[in-house]
């Protein structure tokens, strides 16, 4: 008898089937034992009646939560009053004739039976291998898998080629101190903060490229939006007319991802009682200075002249834009050139500000990007101004000597997107194995941290 998945059982009413899965719940009701069995498709209820099978009943008595089992039985329609509309298989149940234990499980360190897993974040992460099995937690990573898959699909449809960026780099691409140094056989190297320079190199061969990479940020602070290991969804495209082409590509990428989530993750979104963020026809965009001016007018809080938006500014500008336009998204562009990495293109009419941009959604930055410096001489000027060692970015600089047209790109953070879409309160919940200053799988003691 071949295996049937939980959610397909409804197509086998009055037939004998075999299912395999894990015990999610066991409820003893007088003479009957009810089991909720979880497999990769969902959950099905099994009823074990000693009058149907003594041996199945005996085995069911021994079962605990997270036992792996194979159960044979007959699919019955449930009586009208016990239909569970919230369950895909909720109109049927399996009447067990045989229960085989495939693997045992000791008593769990906490209760995983409820619809919500009510655990503090440290406990949730300390036991990731177990908590991941809770349907509501697994849902987070189903949503994330769809986000990443659609990023790939959409860009491939748009003529982008995927490449693999290195994780070990000889130089710091993004600037700043947030970088992990690696002792590379006696040489100094770094864990890649971004595939930035590599995507620009590879772009010169394929015109349009993307990568799905782990990037590493030595974030020394604990915030709800920062990880030290991030899934970065990067894209780069040649022959742009202006930075707005990049903005439009970032917008259509996000729009397509949202559409796919709507189609494929309705169940998961419902579990979290959330609606997808609203992307209107044309996502509003405004310069950093205009955004700061708006915030000042709106609340009197004066962030004008600051080099960037802080988290409060990001929240406020998103609220203002939402009120004005209905959009949950906004692009902010035009940051002070000297405050951003050397590769960002200065606005030729006002070179103090650049053509870099960020995409914000409901108060959180989802993506950065913009136009890049493509002219070799200008690039070399920037290398000097930014006090970079040209020898360390030789591959990149050589590439840019040879005919690089106007170009740009962007990067979306997969965890930030997942966090925001499911309205999770901490980005760690949206990272399957989150790394931060306090954790590599287990919590680090202060000794290990120093």
DSSP assigned state of 424? -
Instruction: List the one residue from 288, 409, 421, 429 that touches ligand AMO (CB under 6 A).
Output: 409
Judged by CB under 6 A, does residue 190 bind ligand AMO? no
Stretch near ligand AMO under the rule CB under 6 A, chosen from 22-30, 151-159, 222-230, 289-297: 222-230
Q: Quote the least distance from Cβ 148 to ligand AMO, whole Å.
A: 13
Judged by CB under 6 A, does residue 399 bind ligand AMO? no
Angle at 121 between CA 118 and CA 126, to 5 degrees: 105
How far apart are alpha carbons 58 and 444 in whole angstroms?
45
Instruction: List the one residue from 33, 407, 410, 418 that touches ligand AMO (CB under 6 A).
Output: 410
Assess contact for 311 and 259: CB atoms under 8 A.
no
Judged by CB under 6 A, does residue 227 bind ligand AMO? yes
Helices and strands (H and E) in the chain: how many: 13, 19
Q: How far is CA 207 from CA 170, 210, 355, 409, 429, in A?
A: 25, 10, 20, 11, 36
Q: How far is CA 358 from CA 14, 16, 155, 340, 364, in A?
A: 57, 56, 19, 12, 10
How far apart are alpha carbons 358 and 370 in whole angstroms?
8
The site map against ligand AMO for 229-268 (x = CB under 6 A) is -x-x-x----------------------------------
How far apart are alpha carbons 68 and 23 in whole angstroms?
7
Instruction: List the one residue from 45, 59, 192, 194 that touches ligand AMO (CB under 6 A).
Output: 194
Maximum CA extent, the chain: 86
Judged by CB under 6 A, does residue 196 bind ligand AMO? yes
Instruction: List the one residue from 36, 95, 174, 438 that touches ligand AMO (CB under 6 A).
Output: 174
Give the position of tokens 């259509």: 252
Q: Quote the least distance from Cβ 412 to ligand AMO, whole Å.
A: 6
SS3 104: coil
Judged by CB under 6 A, does residue 39 bind ligand AMO? no
The residue among 161, 5, 146 whose CA lies nearest residue 71 is 5
CB-wise, 56 or 148, nearer to ligand AMO? 148
Judged by CB under 6 A, does residue 413 bind ligand AMO? yes
Stretch near ligand AMO under the rule CB under 6 A, chosen from 62-70, 105-113, 134-142, 405-413: 405-413
CB-wise, 95 or 365, nearer to ligand AMO? 365
CA atoms within 13 A on the CB side of 252: 11
Other C-beta atoms within 10 Å of 415: how many?
25
Angle at 196 between CA 194 and CA 199, to 5 degrees: 125
Strands in 187-191's sheet, in edge-to-edge order, are 168-169, 187-191, 181-184
Stretch near ligand AMO under the rule CB under 6 A, chosen from 89-97, 325-333, 387-395, 411-419: 411-419
Q: Quote the least distance from Cβ 196 to ligand AMO, whole Å.
A: 4
Q: Which two tokens stand for residue 253?
A: 């990428």
Q: Quote the least distance from Cβ 117 to ligand AMO, whole Å.
A: 23
Judged by CB under 6 A, does residue 192 bind ligand AMO? no
Instruction: List the one residue from 26, 322, 416, 435 that touches ligand AMO (CB under 6 A).
Output: 416
How far apart are alpha carbons 438 and 18 in whole angstroms?
45
**Binding residues for ligand AMO, how many (CB under 6 A)?**
22
Assess contact for 407 and 236: CB atoms under 8 A.
yes
CB-wise, 194 or 292, nearer to ligand AMO? 194
CB-wise, 53 or 374, nearer to ligand AMO? 374
Stretch near ligand AMO under the rule CB under 6 A, chosen from 38-46, 140-148, 277-285, 406-414: 406-414
Instruction: List the one residue from 365, 407, 429, 438 that touches ligand AMO (CB under 6 A).
Output: 365
Q: Quote the least distance from Cβ 384 to ligand AMO, whole Å.
A: 21
Instruction: List the one residue from 47, 320, 397, 411 that touches ligand AMO (CB under 6 A).
Output: 411
Q: Which two tokens stand for residue 75?
A: 């699919």
CB-wise, 38 or 226, nearer to ligand AMO? 226
How far apart are alpha carbons 280 and 77 in whole angstroms?
45
CB-wise, 93 or 365, nearer to ligand AMO? 365
**Which residues lie below 8 Å from residue 120, measured CB to CB, with a gap of 6+?**
none
**Contact set with ligand AMO (CB under 6 A):** 174, 194, 196, 217, 219, 226-227, 230, 232, 234, 365-369, 409-411, 413, 415-416, 427
């Amino acid at each position: 008898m071949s295996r049937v998945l939980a959610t397909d059982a409804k197509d086998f009413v009055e037939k004998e089937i075999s299912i395999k899965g894990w015990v999610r719940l066991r409820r003893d009701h007088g003479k009957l034992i009810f089991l909720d069995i979880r497999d990769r498709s969902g959950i099905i209820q099994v009823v074990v009646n000693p009058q149907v099978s003594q041996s199945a009943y005996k085995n069911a008595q021994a079962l605990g939560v997270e036992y792996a089992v194979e159960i044979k039985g007959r699919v019955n329609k449930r009586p009208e009053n016990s239909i569970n509309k919230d369950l895909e298989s909720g109109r049927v149940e399996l009447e067990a004739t045989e229960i085989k234990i495939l693997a045992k499980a000791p008593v769990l360190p906490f209760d995983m039976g409820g619809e919500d897993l009510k655990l503090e974040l440290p406990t949730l992460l300390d036991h990731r291998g177990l908590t991941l099995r809770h349907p509501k937690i697994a849902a987070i990573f189903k949503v994330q898998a769809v986000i990443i898959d659609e990023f790939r699909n959409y860009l491939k449809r748009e003529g982008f080629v995927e490449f693999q960026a290195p994780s070990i780099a000889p130089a710091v691409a993004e600037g700043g101190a947030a970088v992990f140094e690696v002792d590379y056989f006696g040489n100094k190297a770094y864990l890649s903060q971004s595939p930035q320079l590599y995507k620009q190199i590879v772009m010169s061969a394929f015109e349009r490229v993307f990568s799905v990479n782990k990037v590493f940020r030595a974030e020394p602070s604990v915030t709800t939006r920062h990880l030290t290991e991030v899934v970065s969804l990067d894209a780069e495209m040649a022959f742009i007319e202006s930075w707005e082409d990049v903005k439009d590509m970032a917008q259509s990428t996000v729009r397509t991802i949202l559409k796919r989530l709507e189609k494929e993750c309705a169940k998961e979104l419902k579990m979290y009682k959330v609606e997808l963020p609203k992307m209107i026809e044309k996502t509003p965009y405004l310069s950093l200075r205009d955004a700061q001016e708006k915030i000042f007018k709106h609340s009197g809080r004066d962030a004008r002249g600051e080099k960037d938006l802080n988290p409060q500014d990001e929240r406020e500008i998103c609220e203002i834009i939402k009120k004005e336009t209905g959009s949950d998204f906004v692009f902010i562009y035009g940051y002070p050139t000297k405050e951003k990495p050397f590769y960002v293109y200065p606005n030729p009419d006002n070179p103090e500000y650049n053509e870099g941009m960020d995409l914000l959604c409901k108060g959180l930055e989802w993506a950065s990007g913009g136009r890049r410096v493509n002219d070799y001489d200008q690039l070399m000027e920037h290398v000097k101004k930014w006090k970079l060692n040209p020898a360390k970015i030789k591959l990149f600089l050589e590439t840019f000597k040879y005919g690089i047209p106007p170009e740009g790109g962007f990067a979306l953070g997969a965890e930030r997107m997942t966090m925001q879409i499911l309205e999770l309160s901490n980005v760690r919940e949206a990272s399957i194995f989150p790394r931060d200053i306090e954790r590599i799988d287990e919590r680090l003691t202060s000794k290990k941290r120093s």
